[in-house]
Each structure stands twice: as C-alpha cells, then as structure tokens.
C-alpha cells in the first residue's frame, strides 16, 4: 500500500551534519520526499508530538532535547513507507541497532538516536504528519527511478 510517514532528523543529527546522508538513504531506497521543513520545535508541539510518553520518566529530557535546536521534519511516501523507514532507522536504542541502519551507524544513545520515524500503530503517521504540516505543504509529483 502506498502510504506516507513522518520522519524527523533530531537536533543531534542536524548538529552533526547528517541531514544529507539521511535524505540520500531514503532517496536511494526509492521513497519520495513530499514535504520538508527545517524548524525549531516549540514546547507545545514537542509535548503534543510525544504525548504518548508524557508519563514516562524521560519525558522532560525528551522534550528538552527535541526543542534544543532545529530539526529537519519530513514526509516520505512509498510502498509500505512506515515499515520501510522503521527498518532503515534501526531500533530505538542505537546499541541494539544493526549496522547499516541510521541509528546503528550514527546513533550514540537512547536520547541521541539521530532520527524519529512514525511507528506502525494505525494512524500514528497521519497524526504526526498533521501536527507538523498543512495539507498544501505536501507536494505531489512523479519520481522516476
């Protein structure tokens, strides 16, 4: 099924100059970039985006970290895009992520894990896309491979 997923290069990834590397991996894989914005997230958006974690002990640190500098927020489209991106990202913990995955290759620890992608729970992708993008910011075009 063709679907869209939300992906964000986190502040650590931006600061370490990894935006291009990460975008290239998804482009090379044949996924289509349909939306992108380079933004500093405010506290309100961070708390809404990570709402499911609000009772976790690391929630405060997570919100502080994700608002600490700019992020590259993107929407990628393709066949089973949510699962494809999750496979390419690796596990939440870089130490458990395979080489060849973004977190396996670049992640430092649970917090500084470089990238976020929507989980496979029904509707997570649409919810996250809607939080960050207006409909007219998602662009349609043909990819030639």
Return residues touching ligand CMP (CB under 6 A).
Answer: 53, 58, 61-62, 92, 110-111, 113, 116
Least distance CB 9 / ligand CMP (angstroms): 11
Q: Is 43 annotated as a binding residue?
A: no
Active-site annotation holder among 72, 116, 117, 132: 116
Nearest alpha-carbon partner for 129 in 58, 55, 37:
37
Quote the strand ranges of 70-139, DSSP E. Answer: 71-79, 115-117
* Residue with Cβ nearer ligand CMP (38 or 58): 58
Residue 116 known to be catalytic: yes
Nearest residue (CB) to ligand CMP, 120 versus 143? 120
Would you say 113 is a known binding-site residue?
A: yes
Q: How many CB atoms lie within 10 A of CB 107?
A: 26
Count of alpha carbons within 13 angstroms of residue 101, beta-carbon side: 24
């Amino acid at each position: 099924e063709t679907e869209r997923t939300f992906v964000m290069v986190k502040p650590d990834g931006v600061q370490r100059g990894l935006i291009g590397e990460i975008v290239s991996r998804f482009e090379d894989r044949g996924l289509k970039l349909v939306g992108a914005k380079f933004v500093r997230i405010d506290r309100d958006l961070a708390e809404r985006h990570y709402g499911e974690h609000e009772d976790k002990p690391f929630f405060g640190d997570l919100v502080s970290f994700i608002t600490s500098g700019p992020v590259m927020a993107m929407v990628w489209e393709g066949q089973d895009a949510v699962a494809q991106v999750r496979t390419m990202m690796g596990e939440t913990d870089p130490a458990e992520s395979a080489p060849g995955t973004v977190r396996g290759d670049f992640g430092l620890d649970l917090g500084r894990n470089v990238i976020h992608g929507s989980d496979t729970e029904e509707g997570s992708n649409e919810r996250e896309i809607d939080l960050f993008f207006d409909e007219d910011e998602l662009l349609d075009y043909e990819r030639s491979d």
